[in-house]
Structure 1
Amino acid sequence: MVLPADIVARARFLREELERHNYLYYVLDEPEIPDAEYDKLFRELEWLEAENPLLATPDSPTRRIGATPLAEFSQLTHRVPMLSLNNAFEDEEVAAFDRRVREGLGVERVEYAVDTKFDGLAISLIYENGILLQGATRGDGYTGEDVTTNLRTIKAIPLRLHTTNPSQLLEVRGEVLILKADFEKLNRQQRDKGEKEFANPRNAAAGSLRQLDPRITATRPLTFFAYGLGSVEGVNLPRKLSAVMDYLESLRVPVCRERKVVQGVDGLLEYYRMIGARRDSLPYDIDGVVYKVNDLDSQERLGFVARAPRFAVAHKFPAQEAMTELLGITVQVGRTGALTPVARLRPVFVGGAMVSNATLHNEDEIRRKDVRIGDTVIVRRAGDVIPEVVGVVPGNRHAGAQEFSLLELYPVCPVCGSHVIRLPDEAAARCSGGLFCPAQRKQAILHFASRRAMDIEGMGDKLVDQLVDKELIHTPADLYKLSMNTLANLDRMAEKSASNTLAAIEASKKTTLARFIFALGIRNVGEATAKDLARHFGGLDALMAADDGALQQVPDVGPVVAQSIVQFFVEPHNCEVIAQLVAAGVHWEEGAGSPVSTSPISGKTFVLTGTLPNLTRDEAKERIEALGGKVTGSVSKKTDFVVAGAEAGSKLIKAQELGVLVLDEIQLKEMLGE
């Protein structure tokens, strides 16, 4: 029988492509495509060979597992082949697996041992008389790489089994992996050293374990979980896989805590959905769950097909990574004014949902990943996490791919038209129209009304949400235009609540310059800096007119903070809102913030501890700072005074040890001139 030339050519292409990706992934540790894309190619070749048996060749990727061992490692032949599992992606495929098992065993219902499918590197550990003798990677399933020295560096792997009656030989099989938190830390270290980041935890684990220098492996946060046994001699084991896993746990070999025993296909699917719901909260990456017939005698009866056991299957989750085309890049303006680049994608199904947009984080990330419009990109989606572009496929880049420059394309905010700036120490570019920009509206108003700013009691999240969503206010200045009728008609507001809110708004008109400066929400200007600015300039007009040089004369105001202030006041939209606030009656005593040079408090450092009889800590702090003093949170040799109230603790003890002068509230008030 002669096969059609196009089918023969397609099969040849798939075999060559899969072998190439095996080499990139397993040997070079440089994956080019996501696992889901590899699975699609693999399943297509499986289908072609099943439909056309003459296509099957001994060297087909469907006839073996993994990739050829590295030549630098010595090779180790597995006593029992380390075969991989067939995959199921749909509930119907799981039902078909259960039906085949029941038919093969001639029973109505089957008991299964189930656990998570770790996204790591499969290894074999050989113990002789309870001592770790040898360890190897899976390799091609029959011959692996001897990585014993590297495995010994992994603290999760016991060098001696915890037993007084060890078997002559026990082959433990499991996965080496890196936990999510450790992976994030590892990549931060890579970035700090200016080195290439790892694509994913599985890639990092594989590269770490197969280092020729075990000292490098020892620095990597590798861990291990066992999932079963290979060759066994000299010990009578239970005939249930679940009991075998209990036995391994008793030997202090790490095993999956999420493993269970279930009955029938309903139990399988219930476990799949339970683990799927918990997937994002697990400390390690998984790409599915594994179902195995629990009875070991039944496993032997069912046996194997060419490359996988008949008694087990891996039920894969929807792909969390996929490839698609980057059609364009736009920006979204966040509630703090940050402009986030957003990838507009050719729609692709990933992580159980259709994705057409994904975050690119910031311009530095776009540069680091070398993402260009028109590229083929890899998109990742995990649970409820916002989809992100994690990389590009360089081999698919065409000549017309365009680089992206945020400030060139967006010199002004796409929402409000204010200038977009990027400060030297920040990764994000931001809209400078903080008091005016609709995207920042809720955040700006909530901050303006907060207790340490204008202190408008009752102006919380729910009320601000209603006022903004109903377009009753657009800037903080509109708060002073609200009427009783407007407030009383809002949800959860009656005349009494509306009256109290209006009274709080009216009371806020009388404030201090420091509070007003803080309320404006200028980037990098916190409460302490606002007080320093108020003391130094004494009035708002002088502050608004100050340039970089004048601003940097203020204590603790450096170039970045100075630039933030200048950019805020140079924006006409912000100045217009400030003018409206002053016109609405917001006022303060000009010059009241200037330090009194003759005050005994000016330039002194205070620490507050315990409960004072009459003053709250905030009130004491405000009064000290109003006269040029500074309040810090810890006692040191530089502390001038510690103000102690009832139940003062370790700060008072430390002050006494250092000889720092301790004051009570009466003595503090005397220093304040009250």
Structure 2
Amino acid sequence: MSQDIQAKIEQLTAELNEYNYQYYVLANSAISDFDFDIKLKELEKLEKEYPQYQDPNSPTLKVGGDITSKFKTVKHRWPMLSLSNTYNEQELRDFDNRVQKAIGHAVDYVCELKFDGLSISLTYKNGQLAQAITRGDGVQGDDVTKNVKTIRKIPHQLKKGDYPDLFEIRGEIFMHKSAFLRLNKEREDNSDQTYANPRNFASGTIKLQDSSEVAKRPLDCYLYFLYTENRNKTFATHWESLEKVKEWGFPVAEHTKLCANIDEVLNFIHYWDTARHQLTFDIDGIVIKVNEYSYQEELGFTAKSPRWATSFKFKAERVETVLESVSYQIGRTGAVTPVANLRPVLLAGTTVKRASLHNANEIERLDLHEGDTVYVEKGGEIIPKIIAANLEKRHAGLKAIHYPTHCPECGTALVRQEGEAVHYCPNENGCKPQIVGKVQHYIGRKMMDIQGLGDETIETLYRINLVRHISDLYALKEKRDQLVTIDRFGQKSIDNMLKGIEESKEKPFEKVLFALGIRHVGETVAKKLALHFKNLDNIKAATVEDIAAVQDIGIRIAESLYNYLRDEENIAELNKLQQYGLNFQIEEREVVLAGENLSGKTFLISGVFADYSREQLTELIESHGGKMLSSISAKLNYLVAGDKMGPSKLAKAEKLNVPIISERELLEMIKE
């Protein structure tokens, strides 16, 4: 039986790794997404039940799950130097002249797209991914191996081939524009800090401490340079090595080109200066490398960069247009975002009519006047931005733009919390965009997923005064006589809508918590809160410190949730939703006891741990008879403490004489 299970795990691992290779390296879909997911779930289940047979290169590792308390600093075997930059054709010809003077004749160059992402160095030992290190300061970087393993294009184990026993391959991790816009919109909806561009988002993602969160963000990667001992004995040229690493299974950009002289290099640059706008990802220039490795060695390095390579940086595209007006958007959380309305202008291949002004600080910094001629740029930023006003073209009498002091929709005085750049309208229950936006958020696919309801319908229901709160949705079945009077709203549409609303009562607690639209409480935070506190009553009873102590929550989220649960109108709304039968507690799973060593003992987990996630420690405790508590009290037997545990929690435990144990001590208790 045991041998059969091991064989099955090995078979599924090999099969799924082959499908990944076919899809991500050869661009061949050998299996449907559905069938792939079924096989992956089967493998996950077997590995969970029989962890001793899990392959270190299992495809299940690409979904993450490890928690990193801090990233280890590692010295690069070969320094990761930066490239010198050129910005015009003459500078590039000067580079070519220096190369020719040193070598004695013209040379071949390899031209590569300069990806606007995060540099990474991957070390492989015997064909297996051993380590992934960021550039850092060029001499040493952070070990982000667990996070990089979630990127599907990066192979964990190479197929049999003629690769060296030990080598490094370097490249760039980046995010596609469509993924950036989608994820940034989700962050905006959750009142989280948004990123300025895909590069910042990719960089921020790779430094997250929870690899399962990294796996949810679709990062991509291209690799472009090989390092190994005695490389020159294996390959004569950089181009030859690129062709070979493609054979080994690494993703190499298809747009790379071998050029015979500097004129061909310039033709390549001119082409991509325009064509880059059709790419699904950002590039900010072209990298030019001398092809022959022997010539690279002869040219050598300066203190900061190689003499055999340079980069040509594209200028950020900039146009002039007229700022016609500034309007203000109010989101469902009350955040007020200023938007510049521009005279339409062609920029980077698209017609631009609007640009975000971000916040009051930005308006003040730019000193804008209505009717100004402004410079608009779209470089590494996907969203156009105003760089400055052309003061030479400013006419006398133009009116300066001042950020409003009151909400443009409802007239309520705006507020700005300490440490935040954004102004908010606090009238969340009386400001139309907030009311409508909150209900539209509630019915969304990732929230309650109410079939038969859409954003336009919510607008209509608000207009005819049928919906002012989320709870009003559940009273609609009593108002069918009013629903039938709505234009293009037939009997079947009404039935589908009411059925969808009724079915939403079956959604789990974490979905309800996310759907409520509490500021800073996104999908992941809602899941963590639901798992930790089990039900709404426990969250209501928790202090700010209790909430902030939950993994990855923090004080800002804790204060927002705490304040939300003490607002009288929110309390009344929650009571109505509970009366309508929505789930405000998680469905307790049946725990199969693996032992009873912790029977009768209560535990609380706080901090970050080296070998286990907090969820895994919770499962261990409960599977050995222990009970989890949500806060520190006299009923608590043990506080399991990891790194970065809140000082208030520690002080409270010490005051109540609660024993504080480590992860290792907990495991010893279980073994005993």
Q: TM-score, normalised by structure 1?
A: 0.44
Q: Which has the higher contact order (CA 8 A, sep 6+)?
A: 2
Which structure: larger Rg? 1
User: TM-score, normalized by length of structure 2?
Assistant: 0.44
